[in-house]
Amino acid sequence: MSCFGEYGGRYVPETLVPALDELERGWREALADEAFHRDLHALLTTYAGRPTPLTLAQRFAPGKRLYLKREDLLHTGAHKLNNALGQALLARRLGKRRIVAETGAGQHGVAAATVCARFGLECVVYMGEEDMRRQRPNVERMRLLGAEVRPVGFGTRTLKEATSEAIRDWIATVETTHYLIGSCVGPAPYPELVAELQSVIGREAREQVLAAEGRLPEAVIACVGGGSNAIGLFRGFLADAEVRLLGVEAAGAASLGSGRPAVLHGARSSVLSDEDGQIADAHSISAGLDYPGVGPEHAYLRDTGRAEYVTATDAEALAAFRDLARSEGILPALEPSHALARARDLDAELILVGLSGRGDKDLAEILARR
Partner 1 sequence: MSKTLVVYLMTEPETPELACAAVAGGADIVELGFPFSDPLADGPVIRRAAERALARGMRTRACLELLAQTRAALPRTPLVPMTYASLLEAYGWSRFAADAAAAGATSLIVADLPAGARPELRRIQLVAPTSTDERIRLAAETTDGWLYLVTVAGTTGARDELSPALAGLVRRARSATGLPLYAGFGISTPEQARAAAALADGVVVGSRALQAAERGPDDLRDFVASLRAALDS
Binding flag, residue 262, partner 1 (CB under 8 A): yes
Q: Tell whether residue 275 is a contact of partner 1 (CB under 8 A).
A: yes
Active-site annotation holder among 64, 273, 356, 365: 356
Interaction of residue 358 with partner 1, rule CB under 8 A = no
Considering the rule CB under 8 A, would residue 167 count as an interface residue with partner 1? yes
CA distances (Å), 161 to each of 128, 156, 285, 333, 341, in order? 7, 7, 17, 22, 28
Q: Of 137 and 155, which has the nearer Cβ to partner 1?
A: 155
Question: Of the listed pieces 25-33, 103-111, 276-284, 359-367, which binds partner 1 according to CB under 8 A?
Answer: 276-284
Tell me: does residue 276 bind partner 1 (CB under 8 A): yes
Residues in the chain: 370
Residue 99: strand pairing partners: 123, 178
102 is catalytic: yes
Give CA–CA dist 97/305, Å, rounded.
42
Residues binding partner 1: number (CB under 8 A)? 38
Instruction: Pick the closest to residue 164 from 104, 111, 121, 107 (CA basis).
Output: 104
The single residue among 138, 164, 199, 284 that binds partner 1, judged by CB under 8 A, is 164
Which listed residue (4, 7, 8, 9) binds partner 1 by CB under 8 A?
A: 9
Find all residues with CB under 8 Å of 311, minimum gap 6, and list them: 248, 249, 250, 251, 254, 257, 338
CB of 168 to partner 1, least distance (A): 5
* Site for partner 1 contains 25 (CB under 8 A): no
Question: With respect to partner 1, which residue has the nearer C-beta, 49 or 155?
Answer: 155
Which of 56, 117, 171, 216 is close enough to bind partner 1 by CB under 8 A? 171
Neighbours of 315 (CB within 10 A): 12
Q: Report if residue 95 touches partner 1, rule: CB under 8 A.
A: no
Integer Cα distance of 170 and 190 in angstroms: 14
Smallest distance from partner 1 to CB 18, Å: 5
Just list the catalytic residues: 80, 102, 356
Residues near partner 1, by CB under 8 A: 9-19, 154-155, 160, 164, 167-168, 171-175, 260-266, 268, 271, 273-279
